[in-house]
Structure 1
Amino acid sequence: MILSFFDQFTLTTYFGIPLMFLAMALPWIFYPAPTARWVNNRLITLQSWSINRFTHQLLLPVNPGGHKWAILFAALMLFLITLNTFGLAPYTFTPTTQLSLNLGLAVPLWLATVIIGMRDKPTHALGHLLPEGTPTLLIPVLIVIETISLLIRPLALGVRLTANLTAGHLLIQLIATAAFALITVHPTVTLLILALLYLLTLLEVAVALIQAYVFVLLLSLYLQENV
């Protein structure tokens, strides 16, 4: 029995082994693997078309120099979509509700874009810290503000993904708890609550897909500033 609404976000272990790693690894077996056949089946064709469209859309604002990140972005988006959507199934755990995992993805990738900018275009990368035409008296203040804004980007990426998924899961559990509590007292009200719960679940599926896309899209925009 769940003692707290936040128990669903607690890292569980089995024989001392964190099940988070299992939750991160198992969903990949549901993806069809490419075969050596000349003609692919419908599922693999749909998967390839979807990945190509998403990757093309992500790389539209990026210069050709950043297109080498295409495979990484496509894999990251599939990874996040898989974890987000499978976490909505009953008796499952959603690793992306953990801020540690999201920061573990956001910080290295953001840092890689910054290092690329400092290596290839140091003047252009440092130019983002000071807008053109800034009054002399405001230069130190704006440099500090822009530096803080730059350093807070990975935190914003991780917190955005964590907060959206956590809020959705909590709202679903609250409404489901209300439905179970009212099922014997007000059956008609319970039916309305179940209809609301169904619509909310569809919304959460959309949120799971959109948040994965937004996470990777923001990384592509950070990359665009440094290539």
Structure 2
Amino acid sequence: MKILLLEDDLILNEILEEHLKEQNYQVFTTFSSDEAEKYLYSQNFDLLLLDVNVPNLNGFDLLKELRKNSIKTPAIFITSLNMIEDMQKGFDSGCDDYIRKPFELKELDLRINNIKRLFNIDLKESIEIADNIVLDMKNQSIKKDDKIYNLAKKEFEVLIYLYNNRVKIVSIDELINNIWSYEDSIEASTIRTYIKNIRKILGEDIILNIRGVGYKFNF
């Protein structure tokens, strides 16, 4: 599950990021609406966690803008604004849930799990892609012919991205933009190496190399 976190409190941002990563979520942290927009208009996310009182555009207006631009990603506001009128503004702007600060991390987990249930996100613990091949989402591994192959975290994320986008050809640039943050410097050769390692396990007929264009999950 890929989450964008917008929270300008440095300590809370770090706490939330650490906690979410412990739950095996992929987390992109931002501290202002401008920074968040750079991600939101270039990548796809499964969930948005948005503070309201942040630099530049506030969270309510940011979400309104996203909804006007047909970005329907589920969103939860996490904010110290605790009046019923504030909550009304949040839901009017298009949010799917609203958490008042301070809150316990367990409450956040419960609300995220509810969003996952409502929007059918990340519910499968394993995906069978062939009679003899299963992707283990929890352990980030591949089971093939009763053998277990453990992948590096980013290798597995590349594999899952290709699987989730199997209806199209995926370029190397698209993989970089959707799996790494824009501050990271990733070489195309790194992606090719990851995919080469995956194809050694799955077989070249599962992930096709469309020369000069990208890769296609053949399933």
Larger strand fraction of residues: 2
Q: Please, what TM-score do these two structures have when normalized by structure 1?
A: 0.22
Higher helix fraction: Structure 1 or Structure 2? Answer: 1
